[in-house]
Amino acid sequence: MSFGGQTPTIIVLKEGTDASQGKGQMISNIQACLAVQDTIRSTLGPYGGDLLLVDENGRQTITNDGATVMKLLDIVHPAARILTDIARSQDAEVGDGTTSVVVLAGEILKEIKEHVEQGVSSQIIIKGLRRASAMAVNKIKEIAVTTREGNQRETLRRLAATAMSSKLIHRNADFFTKMVVDAVLSLDQDDLNEKLIGIKKITGGALQDSLFVNGVAFKKTFSYAGFEQQPKSFKDPKIVCLNVELELKSEKDNAEVRVEQVSEYQAVVDAEWQIIYNKMEEVYKTGAKVVLSKLPIGDLATQYFADRDVFCAGRVSSDDLERVVQATGGSISSTCSDIQPQHLGTCERFEERQIGGERYNFFEGCPAAKTCTLVLRGGAEQFIAEVERSLHDAIMIVKRAIKNRNIVAGGGACEMEISAHLHRSADLSVPRKQQSIIKSFAKALEIIPRQLCDNAGFDATNILTQLRVEHRKGNTWAGVDFDNEGVRDNMEAFVWEPSLVKINAIQAAVEASCLILSVDETIRNEESEKPQAPQRGLPPGAAQRALRGRGRGMPRR
């Protein structure tokens, strides 16, 4: 219907709603992702720097772990937050390569940006990227090397060392790789639950003072008077684990009892005492020398056990008690009246020891040990926290490598080989529309060796030219030589990574890029947000402000 030859304006969205769409919106999203990439790219590789992040409470974190950085950046731009998701997924699935996946996703978008500006349909770009991803994954599977079973421990140490090469602890890699491999191999090899590897951090001492405990260690729990009279060391003790409160509970606090004579009141009090004495006697009759409980063990029970040369600890955390059960072969009892011999655990040696300024309980030489504990020492709290993050990455890599024994060379060798393969294949077997997209993807893969060189202070252009020449000659594993600033065979140099790391990184980066490119309109309801000053266009530094938490996210057009 028309009125006077004019079409009336139809308002569908609520007043104050911001709708941005079209090519400008896609380019804006890409710019925001590139701002994130610029922040994190300097942390890549063995010579990458660390970021010092300070949150709103003033707490400091020093790290170069990609997933940790992305989590702490507090990104508000909706499209850029997708990069946070892929870093977390890489961390959960593989454990390492979190920085690589963000840098790669950003570079893919940077190379594709030119096609978007030229008006190429986003669907053609997405099809080309997905095809390139499939070709890259197939190439990785084709060139991956399967490790021999007989030399498993040494192979796992090489993989762990590569994962640590970009971390703070790379100078102590020999010390920690042995610790990491021992830790993973101590787990049940069927499920490899890394949560059963306990990590305890104690400030003070040197890194080399860190301990590997083939069993369980946890900090001394809250204890009552009488605790110091208990023995602190046993050989081959029986261990009972409880989910029972051994504390005198006065029922008059939570029940109403009517009595007419003092003797009746005394009978109630005596009954309360008799209940806890019966519980303690039942526990003592089991012959256990170590009593642990998730719930409190009060002063009466503490003194009772001390008089009978029994060690007890209450309020043990659920994780620690579960690991004690896994290590000693016992089970958690929720009653004291029916504890059978098969419910008790045992270990060769129980001891309470002083480490730094803390006292720790150690259960060592456990017969059913499917768990272990890493006790980390170091000078500063932030430093030990970064060591823990580094060990987590190495543990996850070793865990994946046990399940999947295919490896590739690191140091940019794998990416350069895939890039060379895609350049060759694009001209031969790809439809003309998608050729330029696949070649852009192949060029984006070169960001990994390029950034490794830039962070190390090498001449990136010169080394990349040498790498292209080597890969054209058929030297599959030619990568960056960090020792001599050049090119070398990184497979022979033992710079190894599980092929799963590369496959997952490429797939996640491409999926994120496709998701960002598929968004060409953003509708934002202003009323659901805090009032902010109007923001028109994309002023200089808007994407950077989004990183610092002061940006609006999606800009208006």
Give the pLDDT confidence of 422-434 residue by residue, as tens digits.
998 888 877 777 8
pLDDT tier at 150 (50, 70, 90 boundaries)? low
Averaged pLDDT score across all residues of the chain: 84
Res 529 pLDDT > 60: no
Better-predicted residue by pLDDT, 124 or 20 = 124
pLDDT tier at 374 (50, 70, 90 boundaries)? very high
Res 208 pLDDT > 50: yes
Mean pLDDT of the 16-37 span: 77
Res 11 pLDDT > 90: no
pLDDT tier at 264 (50, 70, 90 boundaries)? confident
Domains in the chain, CATH or no CATH each: 17-145+410-548 (1.10.560.10), 148-214+375-404 (3.30.260.10), 216-368 (3.50.7.10)
pLDDT of residue 138: 94
Res 444 pLDDT > 90: yes
Res 209 pLDDT > 80: yes
pLDDT of residue 526: 61
Cα angle 81, 399, 408; round to 5: 80
pLDDT of residue 73: 86
The structure tokens listed for 557 are: 């057009």
pLDDT tier at 253 (50, 70, 90 boundaries)? low
pLDDT of residue 131: 92
Tokens 């953003």 appear where? 522
pLDDT of residue 20: 59
The Cα–Cα gap between 97 and 505 comes to 7
Res 204 pLDDT > 50: yes
Provide the percentage of residues in the chain whose pLDDT is more than 90. Answer: 29
The Cα–Cα gap between 31 and 259 comes to 79
